[in-house]
Structure 1
């Protein structure tokens, strides 16, 4: 289990904190689920005199959730960034209406 915890912390750090893609970092850290977990972890880290890193105070379930979100955000940067911008500016989700291939074929 300790090996799983260590692997998850390393992967989260690699996918997000070591990423050169600022949009991925912005989207990850603006996710309300991430914010909720990190708020608890930072409070626990502070109570323990800032020993280690905040991820050291995460449960296995929290690490798994953060890892899944980190994996998602690191593999969908364009989609994630556009969603982030929409949320930041309070814009509604837009759905692109596409014509059927029949309408495109006949120019309708």
Structure 2
């Protein structure tokens, strides 16, 4: 993701959390009654917002653990020793087993 896209996503996240915070403060103020301390409603609203962001972070971390790096284009992920893959094209760069199998096949 580019830096510009990250900044746009972050701005939407901050706006969404601010809207959620505002609605939670209003909800706690309405539920508290007329003679209650409004500071308690603000603290409860911040607590709810922190809990929501902690849940979203936990879900993001759990999903990120499922991500895997894709294999290089044209290469198989798992290869047996001594087998040339379709993307090798005889280049034999740095792989002893491929080199050995190629030399054995030329010697026959």
The interval holding the TM-score normalised by the smaller chain is under 0.3
Larger Rg over CA atoms: 2
TM-score by length of 1: 0.26
